[in-house]
Structure 1
Amino acid sequence: MHTLFKKTPLAGGVAVALLAFSGAASAAESTPASQQGDTVVVNATTPDSQFNAGSNDLVPAYLDGQIANGGRLGVLGEQKAEDVPFSIIGYTAKLIQDQQARTLTDVLDNDASVESSYGYGNFSENYVIRGFSLAADDISFGGLYGLMPRQIAPTFFAERVELLKGSSAFLNGVPPGGTGVGGNVNIEPKRADDTPLNRVSLDYTSSSQVGGSLDVGRRFGEDNRFGARVNLIHREGETAIDGEKRRLTGGSLGLDYRGDRLRGSLDVGAMRQTVHGGRPVVYLGSATSVPEVPKATGNYGQQWAYTDLESEFGMLKGEYDLAEHWTAYGAFGMSHNHEYGKYGSPTLVGDDGDATMSRMTVPYFSDTVAGNTGLRGSFDTGFVNHSVNLGYSQTYTKTRSAYTLTSASVATNIYSPVATSEPLTNLYSGGDMGDPHVRSRIRNEGYNLSDTLSVLDGRVQLIGGLRRQSIAVRNYNYNGVESNTFDETKVTPAFGLVVKPWQHISLYANHIEALQAGDTAGTTYNGKTVTNGGQTAGVAISKQNEVGVKADFGRVAASLALFEIKKPESMYTASGDSYTFGNYGEVRTRGMEVSLYGEPVYGVRLNGSLSLLDPTLTQTQDGTYDGKKAVGVPRYHWVVSGEYDIPGVTGLTATGKVIRTGSQYADEANNLELAAWTRLDLGVRYDMNLPVNNIVWRAGVENVTNERYWSSANGGYLTQGDPREVKVSMTVDF
C-alpha cells in the first residue's frame, strides 16, 4: 500500500500547517499587538500597503475590486504581475457576484486566452489555454492539485480565480491529469473580512432554476486575529436548454489565524451536483462536413441520461516566521470524489443530422492527498538582494472505475431528436459496477530551488530555478490487475527577467517547461511489431519562450505577450522491420496576447483582451498532417466587457460583454471547420446603498441574440454554445 508521507519532507510541511492551529491561541497571548513587527492582516483582500509578496496574502484588487493584477505562482507564492516574468491575472469574488458567475467557466469567459468545452462524453467543464487543454481535474485549490470537484467547479466558495497563462512545471509541478501545458487555474477560498458579514442571496436563472445562498463572516479575538467564513448554497431547476435540469447543494467553512509570526488556515467543503437530461457533445462520426447548428435551446440528449457528482475536500495551511526574513511553510489537503453517470452522446452517420447513440454507465471514484512544504527567505550579497525558496511537493491520486456499454441501438437526429427508453442490454462491460477496482495510482513529487536576484531597488530582477520532478503512474485493468507502470524523473529549469525602465512599465522574458507522461504504445503498428509495446513513451517536455511588456498607470493597466510553446506528441518511428514508440512528434503554438483593464473615466470600467494563435502540427505520424492546424484551437479570440454608472441615479450600473471567437478545425486534416461566432451579454445592477440591510439587485441576459453556434471542437467533437439565458438575483447584507 502506498504511503504518501513515509520518509518524505512533506511530513514537515504537515507539521508546520498543524502548528498554525495548535499554537494559535498561545501565540496570540504571548505576543502583544503593540510589539514592534506585529503584522495583523484582517481583510479578505490584503491592502496594497500590507501585501507580502511570496506569502499566502492575496494580491490587492485593482480599483473597483473585480480584477487583481497578479496571483499565485506556485512555489513563488502570491505575486504582483508587474514584478514577475509571467502572465497572470486574478478575478475576484466581486466580479463573480456582479456577473452572477455560477461556475468556473463563467469566470474564465472574461479572458480571451481561454476557450471552454465539455469533456469527452460527460458534462465536465474543460478548457483550452494558449492552444492546449486543461482538464477540470487539474484545477488547483490554494496551490494544491487534486482537491477540486472533478467535473464542474462552482464558485460560491471562491474569493479569487487566478489564471496563469503559459507552462508552469517549475512553478506548480505536474497535475495528476497531466494537462495544463498552456496554462493553469487556481482557486483561492474566501476569508473573513474585518467587517462582519451577514449576506443572503436569492437568484433565478431561466428557464426555472431557483437558488439561495448564505455567506457569513466574522473576525474575533485579540486584534481580530481569528476569522471564520461560512458559505451555503442550494440551486435547482431546468436550464434554458429544453429538458435539461441541474441541481447544486454545497457548503464550505474557512477558518484562519493571522498573527505576528504564525499564520494558518483550514478550509473544508462538500457539495453535490446533478445534471439530468443534459445536452451532450456531438461526435462527428462519418460526417463529411460540419453540421448546421441545431436551434439554440434544442436538446439531442436523452432524459435517461444523467450524472451525479459528490465531492468533499479539506486543506490545512500554515506559515511560521523563523526570523525576520525567513519563513517556513506547509500545506496539506485531501479530497474524495464520487461520480455515477449514465451517458449518451450522438454520433453522426451522415450530413443530414442523423445519428446513433449508445448508453454508457460509469461509476467513478477518486481520492487525492496533496501537500507541500518549504522555506523561503531573503538576504543581500553586496548590492544584490536574493529571494530564495527551497521546497517539496507531492500529489497522490487513486482512481477506481467500471463501465457498461450498450450497442449503438438508439437512432436519432440532432435536429429532430427522438426520445427513447434507456437501452438495457450491455454489449461491453468492465469491472465491478457495485465496487469498482483500482484503475490507476499517480504520484507526482518534486523538489524545487529558486533564487530571485534583484538590483537597483527592484528595477531589474532575474529569476532562476530548478525542479527535480518525478512522475510515477501505475495503471490497472478493470479486474484490478496491473497492466503497465511508469516511473521517471526529470530536472526542469525556469529562467525569467524583469526590467522596469520607467516607473509604470515592466519588460519581461521567460523560459519555462511543462512535463507530462507520454502515451502508451500499442503492441503492433502497420502490421509490424512495436519494440516497446505496452510501455509509456517517457516524460514529454514542452518548452515555452515568452517576452512581453506590462504597464500600470494607476487607473488603467495593460499587457502584451508574445510566446511560443513546443509540445512533443507520441508517435511511431520505423526501425528496420519494427517500430519504436516515443515522443517524436510536435505541436507548435505561437501567439500574441493583449489585455487592457481599468477605469479610464470615472464611472466607466473596461476589461478587454485579445488572443491571436498559430497552432501548427509540425511533426506528425508519417508526416500526414505536417503543417496543418491543431484541432479545437481558434486562430483569434477577443473579449470586451464594460460597466457604466448611469448619471443621476446613484447605484445604477449598466453592464455588457461581447465575446468573439474565430474559426477552428474539428479534424487533423483540416477538412471540417467550425464557423466563427459572437456572443452578446447585457445586464444592469442597482445598489440601493441602504445604511442598514443594504440590497443589491442584479439582472443579466447572456447570449442576448440567442445565437446558435458550435462553441468548440476541442477533443475533435462538437460542443454547442448555450442559448439565451436570463439571470436575476437579489443580495441583502444584514
Structure 2
Amino acid sequence: MRRHPHPAPSLACPLTAVAAHLLSASLAACAPALLVLQPAAALAQPAAPGAVQRSYAIAAGPLGPALNRLGRESGALITFAPDLVAGLRTAGVQAAPTVAQALAQLLAGTGLEPVAGPDGAYTLRRLPEVMSAPGATAATLSEVRVTAEATVQPDTLPGAYAGGQIARGARLGLLGQTDAMDAPFHITSYTAQAMEDRQTTTLADALTVDPSVRSTAPNGDVADAFFIRGFAIGDNNIGEIAFDGLYGVSPNYRLLTDYAERVEVLKGPAAMVYGMSPNSGVGGGINVVPKRATQGLMRVRADYGTRSQGGGHIDVARRWGDTHQFGVRFNGSYRDGSTPIDHQHREASLGALALDYTTERTQVTVDLIRQHEDVQAPTRRPFLTAGLAVPAAPDARRNITQRWEWYDSTEDSALLKARHAFNDRWSVFASVGAARSTVDRLFNTPTITSAAGDTHVTPTRAQFDIERQIAEAGLRGRFTTGAASHQATLQWSHYEDRYRMGSVAGTAYTSNLYAPIEQPPQSVGAPATRPQRSATQLRGVALSDTMGLLDERLLVTLGLRHQRVDSDNFDANGVRTATYSQSAVTPLAGVVFKPWQNVSLYANYIEGLSKGDTAPSGAVNAGEIFAPYKTRQQEVGIKVDHGRLMTTASVFQIRKPSGYLQNNRFGVDGKQRNRGLELTVYGEPAAGWRLYGGATWIDAELARTSSPATQGNTAVGVPRTQFTVNAEHDLALVPGLTATAGLIYTSAQYADQANLQRLPSWTTVDLGLRYRLQLAGRSTVLRATVRNATGRDYWAGSSTWGTLLVGAPRSVLVSATVDF
C-alpha cells in the first residue's frame, strides 16, 4: 500500500519559541509534602538538615471533621470508614509540627491508631485490646512519641477510592485539589489503573464509561469531541481539553492517554474553575493530569488489535538527589498497522517527558509532549441532507473514504509550572506554556443524498496551523476569621490562539454507505499559503474563597471571574472581516453540608461563558457584535460514602442562549434548556468485586426558536437516557484471574432541530479477562478485551452541526505488561 510520505516522527519536542517562554519564567511554587509515619516503637528522630517543619492547630470537636481538616491542610491522604469515627470526639491539635504528631494528638484517647501506607497516606484502625489474664482489665500502654521526617513527593493527587478505578477527588483548577465529598459539583476522576485495565489509548476510549459523556467522533476518525450533559465539547477542535488545570496546552485534535495519571470530568459549566473554554464548551470540563516521577519504575507493554494494529509502550520513572528532590518520567509509545475499519491504516507515536524539582516548600514541573498520527483512509462522519429520513446504519467496518485519502498531524506541547510556599498557609504559583498543532490532509466530509445511502463529496487538500500560548499567576492562602476557616485563591490568567488554514479542492466523486465505490486516485497539490483565519485572546482575573463552618461540616464556596474576550475573524484571503472585544463576569456559589460524616449534600449555581456571535453578512444588521453568552446552571445533589462504595445523585438545569436569523435580522434570543438527573456508583462493594457506572436522564428542549416547527423540540444529538455499567470479578478458582464486563446503552436521539431525523437507540457489550502473575520474577499482567462483542451495527449519535456517527465495530485487543 502506498503511504503518504512524511518526515520520520521524533519523540523530542523542539519548540524553540516555547523554550524561550519557559526560560523567562522565574516564579517558584509550592507542593504540599507528604509525611511518612514511622513504626510506633520508634523514638523521636532529629529532622534532616534544612528540613522545614510546619505547625498544625485544630480545635477540639468531632473526630471526623477534624481528620478531614488535617487532610486538607497537609495534603496527606487520610482514609477511614465513617462508622469507625462515628460519635468520637478529639481534644484537637496544639502546634503539632508534623502530620504524624498531629494525627497522634487527634487520635489520643479515641481507641484508634494510624497505619502508614505508600506515598505518605494513612488509614485508621482500632487499637488492639491487651489483656493480662481472664478477668483482668486492659493494660495501660505507655506513651509513645511518634515523629516523621517530611519526604519529597511530587504534587500528590487525591488517592484512589476502593477498587482503584476512580479517585477520591480531583484538581479543580482555581479551587485546587478537592476531595469528592467536599466539592460542590459532580466530579469523576478516572485513574491510570482504570485506563490500563480497559486498554484505552485515546481520551475518547477513556470516557466511554462515563454515563454523562458521549463521544461525537466515530471510531477511526482523527479528532475527539464529546457531549457532556447534552452540550458539545470540542466540536471545532480548538483547545477544549485542559491539561493540568489549564486550557491551551493539551494536544488539539486527539489526546493519547499513555502519559495521563488521571482523566477528570467536571459536570456542568466550568468557566469559574478553569476559565472560559477557548471554543465555548459549557456542558462540563475535562482535565488531564500528567504522570509524575515515582521512586523507581520501568514498565513495558506490548499490545495487538484486530487485523494488524500492533505496538508498545514504555513508562520509566526515576528520582534522585539527597532528598529525592529531582524527578523524571518518560512515556513513549508507538503503534502501526491496519485497523478494524476497511482499508484503514494508522501509525501513531508519542513521547512525553515530565520533569520535576520538589522540596518541602517549592515545586517546579516541566512537561514536554509530542504526538504524531498518520492515517490512511480516515473515517468521516457524513452530513445528512435536510428532510431525508435517517438510513439504516451501515456495516461498522465499511469505509467510504478512499484508500488514497489521508491525514497527517503533529502536536507539540510544553508547560512549565511553579509553586512556592512562604509558610504552611500562604503560597504563590505561576505557569507558562505553549502548544502547536500542524495538519496536512486530503479528504472531506461526505453528504448522504438518498435513502439508499448514496453519498457525494469533494476531497480537499487542506493544511492547518494552530498556535496557542497560556500564562497564569496567583496567590493561595488559608486563614481563619472567628469560627470560620478560609481557603482563598486569587488568579490572573491569559490565553491566546492563532488559527491558519489553506485549502485546494479536488474533483468531486460519489459513493455509497453500504457498497463503497473505489475511485481513481487524485493528486491534489498543497495550498500555496495558509492565511490567518482567526485569533483569540482570553484574559481573566478570578477570586474564590471556600469557608468552613460548624467544625467543617458546612463548606461554602464563593467566587467571581472577570473575563475579557478579544476575537478577530478573517476571510480566505486573510482579510479581517470582524473584530470582537467584550467582557463579562461569571460567578460561582456552592454549598456542601455534611449532616453525617459519610454524607454530603451539595448545591451550586455556576455560569459558563461563550464568545458572542457576529451577525452574518446576509443579515440586515451584518457585522453587529453580541455580548458573550452566559450559560447558567443550578444543581443539587447528594453523595454517600458507604465505606467501600460511593453513590451520588444530582439534579441539574442548564440554560444556554443561541443565535438565529428572523426576518433577515440576526439576534440572540433562542435558548436550549437541559434538565437532567444523574446517578453514579463506584467502588468495591464486596471482596473481589469492583463496579463503576451510572445513568443520566436529560430533557433537552429548544425554546424561543425562530420557527414554530422547532419550538419546544428536543435538541440535536441529545438522547433522553444514557446508561453505563462496568464490573470486574476476581475468579477464586484461578488466583490472579479477573473477568470484566461492560454495557453501554444510549436511547434514541434526533439529528435535526425539526425532530424529523431520528436515530434509534443502541446497546453495546464489552467483555474481557485480566491475569496477574509473576513471570521470571517480574510482575506481569496479561489483558484481553472484546469491544462491541455482539458485533452490532448502529448510529452512535449526531453532532450539533448535522453529521452522523457510525458506531465502532467488534474488535479484539490483547496486551502484556511487565514491570522491570
The alpha carbon displacement at 1:718 in A equals 0.7
Q: Within 5 A, what are the aligned runs for 1:299-318?
A: 299-318=399-418
SS in 2 for 1:75: helix
SS in 2 for 1:125: coil
Matches of 2:118 and 2:319, distance apart in 1: 11
Partner residue in 1 for 2:65: none
Q: Within 5 A, what are the aligned runs for 1:167-178?
A: 167-178=269-280
The alpha carbon displacement at 1:350 in A equals 1.2
- For 1:373, give the aligned amino acid: A
Matched, 1:648 2:733: yes
Say which of 212, 215, 218 aligns to 2:312. 212
Say which of 224, 230, 233 aligns to 1:131. 230
Partner residue in 2 for 1:448: 542
Matched, 1:188 2:250: no
Matched, 1:144 2:246: yes
Matches of 1:464 and 1:241, distance apart in 2: 49
Say which of 432, 450, 459 aligns to 1:332. 432
Say which of 198, 202, 215 aligns to 1:103. 202
Alpha-carbon displacement from aligned partner over 1:179-234 (angstroms, at most 9, x marks no partner): 2x11011101111123x111111000111101011111111112322211011110
Say which of 512, 527, 547 aligns to 2:636. 547
Check whether the contact 2:603–2:634 (CA below 8 A) recurs between aligned residues: yes
SS in 1 for 2:216: strand
Deviates more, 1:321-330 or 1:493-502: 321-330
Say which of 658, 663, 674 aligns to 1:589. 674
CA separation of 1:18/1:479 partners in 2, compared to 1, >3 Å: closer, same or farther?
Answer: farther
Check whether the contact 2:461–2:524 (CA below 8 A) recurs between aligned residues: no
SS in 2 for 1:156: helix
Check whether the contact 1:514–1:541 (CA below 8 A) recurs between aligned residues: yes
Matched, 1:728 2:817: no
The alpha carbon displacement at 1:475 in A equals 1.3
Say which of 391, 410, 413 aligns to 1:291. 391
Partner residue in 1 for 2:483: 383
The alpha carbon displacement at 1:424 in A equals 5.6
Partner residue in 2 for 1:278: 378
The alpha carbon displacement at 1:304 in A equals 1.9
CA separation of 1:44/1:512 partners in 2, compared to 1, >3 Å: closer, same or farther?
Answer: farther
Matches of 1:682 and 1:153, distance apart in 2: 25
For structure 1, list consecutive stretches of 5 or more residues without a partner in the other structure.
21-29, 427-431
- For 2:788, give the aligned amino acid: N
Alpha-carbon displacement from aligned partner over 1:323-362 (angstroms, at most 9, x marks no partner): 2201101111111110111113331221111121211221
Matches of 2:24 and 2:181, distance apart in 1: 30
Q: Within 5 A, what are the aligned runs for 1:319-358?
A: 319-358=419-458
- For 1:595, give the aligned amino acid: T
The alpha carbon displacement at 1:35 in A equals 4.4
Matches of 1:385 and 1:204, distance apart in 2: 53
SS in 1 for 2:559: strand
The alpha carbon displacement at 1:415 in A equals 0.6
Matches of 1:35 and 1:151, distance apart in 2: 44
Check whether the contact 2:29–2:429 (CA below 8 A) recurs between aligned residues: no
Deviates more, 1:301-310 or 1:125-134: 301-310
CA separation of 1:459/1:436 partners in 2, compared to 1, >3 Å: closer, same or farther?
Answer: same
Deviates more, 1:673-682 or 1:581-590: 581-590
Check whether the contact 2:436–2:465 (CA below 8 A) recurs between aligned residues: yes
Say which of 319, 326, 348 aligns to 1:248. 348
CA separation of 1:199/1:270 partners in 2, compared to 1, >3 Å: closer, same or farther?
Answer: same
The alpha carbon displacement at 1:581 in A equals 2.7
Partner residue in 2 for 1:32: 49
SS in 2 for 1:633: coil
CA separation of 1:228/1:337 partners in 2, compared to 1, >3 Å: closer, same or farther?
Answer: same
Higher strand share: 1
Check whether the contact 2:676–2:697 (CA below 8 A) recurs between aligned residues: yes
CA separation of 1:727/1:690 partners in 2, compared to 1, >3 Å: closer, same or farther?
Answer: same
Check whether the contact 1:44–1:193 (CA below 8 A) recurs between aligned residues: no
Deviates more, 1:225-234 or 1:719-728: 225-234
The alpha carbon displacement at 1:18 in A equals 8.4
The alpha carbon displacement at 1:729 in A equals 0.3
CA separation of 1:44/1:189 partners in 2, compared to 1, >3 Å: closer, same or farther?
Answer: farther
Q: Within 5 A, what are the aligned runs for 1:388-399?
A: 388-399=488-499
Check whether the contact 1:13–1:373 (CA below 8 A) recurs between aligned residues: no
For structure 2, list consecutive stretches of 5 or more residues without a partner in the other structure.
1-16, 32-46, 56-73, 78-116, 124-147
Partner residue in 2 for 1:439: 533
Check whether the contact 1:309–1:337 (CA below 8 A) recurs between aligned residues: yes
Deviates more, 1:60-69 or 1:385-394: 60-69
Matched, 1:416 2:510: no
The alpha carbon displacement at 1:713 in A equals 0.9
Say which of 115, 121, 145 aligns to 1:47. 121
Indicate the percent of aligned positions where both proteins have the same amino acid: 36
CA separation of 1:11/1:307 partners in 2, compared to 1, >3 Å: closer, same or farther?
Answer: closer
Q: Within 5 A, what are the aligned runs for 1:579-618?
A: 580-618=665-703
CA separation of 1:690/1:167 partners in 2, compared to 1, >3 Å: closer, same or farther?
Answer: same
- For 1:673, give the aligned amino acid: R
SS in 2 for 1:97: helix
Matches of 2:251 and 2:708, distance apart in 1: 39
CA separation of 1:63/1:257 partners in 2, compared to 1, >3 Å: closer, same or farther?
Answer: farther
CA separation of 1:321/1:277 partners in 2, compared to 1, >3 Å: closer, same or farther?
Answer: same
Partner residue in 2 for 1:79: 178
- For 1:718, give the aligned amino acid: L
The alpha carbon displacement at 1:585 in A equals 0.8
Matches of 2:24 and 2:595, distance apart in 1: 39
The alpha carbon displacement at 1:286 in A equals 5.2
CA separation of 1:681/1:548 partners in 2, compared to 1, >3 Å: closer, same or farther?
Answer: same
When normalised by structure 2's length, the TM-score is 0.81
What is the aligned length? 699
The alpha carbon displacement at 1:536 in A equals 3.1
Matched, 1:15 2:26: yes
Deviates more, 1:246-255 or 1:170-179: 170-179
Alpha-carbon displacement from aligned partner over 1:148-168 (angstroms, at most 9, x marks no partner): 222111111111101111011
Partner residue in 1 for 2:68: none
- For 2:727, give the aligned amino acid: G
The alpha carbon displacement at 1:694 in A equals 1.6
Partner residue in 1 for 2:158: 59
The alpha carbon displacement at 1:41 in A equals 8.7
Matches of 1:572 and 1:295, distance apart in 2: 39
The alpha carbon displacement at 1:435 in A equals 3.5
Partner residue in 1 for 2:37: none
SS in 2 for 1:123: coil
SS in 1 for 2:392: coil
Matches of 1:353 and 1:468, distance apart in 2: 49
Matches of 1:167 and 1:509, distance apart in 2: 14
Check whether the contact 1:17–1:332 (CA below 8 A) recurs between aligned residues: no
Check whether the contact 2:793–2:807 (CA below 8 A) recurs between aligned residues: yes
Check whether the contact 1:44–1:190 (CA below 8 A) recurs between aligned residues: no
- For 1:631, give the aligned amino acid: V
Partner residue in 2 for 1:24: none
Partner residue in 1 for 2:605: 511
CA separation of 1:481/1:501 partners in 2, compared to 1, >3 Å: closer, same or farther?
Answer: same
- For 2:277, give the aligned amino acid: P
Alpha-carbon displacement from aligned partner over 1:115-154 (angstroms, at most 9, x marks no partner): 1022899631100000000005310111111212221111
Matches of 2:552 and 2:232, distance apart in 1: 35
Say which of 545, 570, 574 aligns to 1:476. 570
Matches of 1:419 and 1:345, distance apart in 2: 17
Partner residue in 1 for 2:461: 361
Check whether the contact 2:489–2:543 (CA below 8 A) recurs between aligned residues: yes
The alpha carbon displacement at 1:425 in A equals 7.8
Partner residue in 2 for 1:153: 255
